[in-house]
Structure 1
Amino acid sequence: MLLLALMWGVSIPITKLGLLSLPPLTLTALRFAIAVPLMFAFVLGRQRLPLRALPRLAALGLLGIGIGQVAQTFGVAGTSASVGTIISATIPIFVVMFAAARLRQPVSGLQMLGLAAAFAGIALVASGRGEAGTPSQTSLGGAALVLLSAVTIAFYYVWSVELTERYGMAPVAAWSTFFGFVALIPWAAWEIRQVPIEATAAGIGSAAYLGVVVTVAGLFLWIHLLRTVPARIAAGIQYLQPVVGVATASAMFGDALGLFFVLGVVLVLGGLALTVTTPRRREAPAAP
């Protein structure tokens, strides 16, 4: 769990590093060009999908990568790494919302309170961009794109639950990633023609880390955790990721943590804790 929190927690700062030399669409396309062959190495020859499943997986890939990951990359380009990390930490909160709407899972009063607290925290983190001592290089547009990414990726997770129950998580992840990558290719090709690109070691290394460690190794380690420990325990990494991300951003880019940012982090993490909490049912007393 600690290893996965470290792997995923530094993803936003690493994305920020890659964007210093590669434009957003190119960085995202390169990330998934590395990830797709590795993902299929675990799937081909082991599990087959019926043809009727492919249109849904194509739509899933367009949603999760074509919108979710692209919005995240553009959003990180318009925010500090610390702000992007905290806003991305709201993904589990939106998962609870969409699960309630699509999977008919109930939402308690505490979870609603957590949702409200998280939104208040996002507002504080984003509005603190102009305060002395708070994270710089953050625009409302960038924060909005990261938030759009969080919403989209959360819906991707909830929608994929239905497909993974039928076809397995690895095939769904591999094929949806493939279709999302294919949709990115023409846009990335257009960007390469329009924007001068300097392929530095930092840019290529960032794409490789995001593709190999975050996308592939992180996914299969997450699957292993879900099979090894209870889901409520595995979900504990959601609390560690923002801490790792903010600490890494501060070390790499010198992000200053102002009062609004600190208060926003407290509200977001508190809202996350309330939202992912599952109320325990009262058990009947044991028979004597």
Structure 2
Amino acid sequence: MNEFSVKLDSETRRATPWLILTTFLWGGSFVFNKIGFREIPPVTFLFLRFLLAAVMMALVCLPRLKKINRDIVRRGAMVGIALTAANLSFVIGVSGTSATRAGFLNNLFVLVVPLLCYLIWRDKVDRLTFAGLCLAVSGIIALAAGGGFSRGDIFSTICALFIALHIISVSKVLRSNDDVYLITLFQFITVTILGGLLVLILPQPEFHMGPVSAGALFYCALFPTVICFTVQNTFQRFTTPTRASLIYTLDPVWSMLGGFALLGERLGVWEALGCVLIFSSVVMPLTVKLVAERRALRLYLNQERQTEEAEASGS
């Protein structure tokens, strides 16, 4: 194994546990959002979460604030609009369905990304992704058969669309030399401003924030927001997009376990089948692509080794 492959494997091993940690923290956000919603209205929770996250991120960015310019603000705001749509549909969805169902439906974003790229830029959708989409539709039908498809389920599915749009906007709007910390800060500020406007425009019931809901709010602001964004931006570049996407499919597993342990959620037979189909729709194509990537890498390394041996024998 040459120096290139050793470096690649070591970087991947370094990144993998950190990316798994992000899935654990994000999966927990489904549970803690539902706990927070017991006392705080969902839209108000969204506003307070990102207000707190923006303050935390501003403290992290103190040494970088002098680098702020109009371009950073503009592009951070553009991506922040997509992030607002994703999180607004997220809180509405989670408030109207179980953490387990919301987790699996949100995870459909992995399939929505290539579908949107096809619709907008005519990028080719391979057979594996198409098969995954068919499995996902079957899973949604099974979920509906197991207790209907509620307003929360609809918004959780819509959330997958907006998560995909946010991912695409990040790849299209941001540049490789951007300061990701400042961009992230202005994403959070944009969500805070838009969330605050929604709180003012939409009628919000009065609420009382007790210690439990305050703790849930702090968790959601710090761990799946500030920490997850920072860790993903830091470590995702050390692995392949396919491997990262496969790791992120753990999100609904953690939300399911958290809903089972902390919220007492249980799945019926049809619901369980639907979740399995949706999970398979994401994991199946990604696993096959990961195997193909590793095979291509081995082929490249074998060809390189044979070339080196031929050059050595010729000399």
The normalised TM-score by structure 1 is 0.86
Q: Give the structure 2 partner of residue 135 of structure 1.
A: none
1:61 and 2:72 aligned: no
- What one-letter code is carried by the residue in structure 2 that aligns with 1:129? G
Give the stretch that moved more between structures: 12-21 or 222-231: 222-231
**Alpha-carbon contact 2:53-2:225 (below 8 Å) kept:** yes
236, 252, 255: which one aligns with 1:226: 236
Q: CA deviation at 1:163?
A: 2.6
1:118, distance to aligned residue in structure 2 (A): 1.3
Equivalent residue in structure 2 for 1:98, among 97, 112, 116: 116
Moved more, 11-20 or 166-175: 166-175
Give per-residue Cα distances to partners, 1:6-51, cap 9 Å, x unaligned.
2111111111111111001110011001111222333344373542
Judge which range, 218-227 or 12-21, deviates more.
Answer: 218-227
Q: What's the TM-score, normalizing by structure 2?
A: 0.79
State the alpha-carbon separation in 2 of the partners of residues 37 and 98 from structure 1: 33
The code of the aligned residue for 2:183 comes to V
Give percent identity, aligned residues only.
22
Number of aligned residue pairs: 278
Tell me if structure 2 keeps the 8 A contact 1:61–1:179: yes
Tell me the SS of whatever aligns to 2:38.
Answer: coil
Alpha-carbon distance, 1:160 to partner: 0.8
**What residue in structure 1 maps to residue 7 of structure 2?**
none
Matches within 5 A, 1:115-194: 115-129=133-147, 140-166=150-176, 167-189=178-200, 194=204
Mapping of 1:177-216 within 5 angstroms? Answer: 177-189=188-200, 194-216=204-226
Shift of 1:4: 2.2
> Contact between 1:21 and 1:200, CA under 8 Å: does it hold in 2?
yes
Deviation at 1:260, TM superposition (A): 0.9
The offset of 1:245, in angstroms, is: 0.9
What is the aligned partner in structure 1 of residue 227 from structure 2?
A: 217
How big is the alpha-carbon RMSD for the aligned residues of Structure 1 and Structure 2?
2.5
Of residues 275-284 and 93-102 in structure 1, the stretch that sits farther from structure 2 once superposed is: 275-284
In our comparison, the structure showing a higher alpha carbon Rg is 2
Separation in structure 2 between the aligned mates of residue 179 and residue 92 of structure 1, nearest angstrom: 25
Gaps of 5+ in 1: 131-138
Q: Does 1:34 align with 2:44?
A: no
The one-character-per-residue Cα deviations of 1:177-198 (angstroms, maximum 9, x if unpaired) are: 211211111322455x741201
Residue 194 to residue 176, structure 1, CA distance change in 2 (3 Å): closer
Aligned residues of 1:28 and 1:207 also touching (Cα < 8 A): no
For 1:83, give the aligned amino acid. Answer: R
What residue ranges of structure 2 are gaps of 5+ in the alignment?
1-16, 311-315
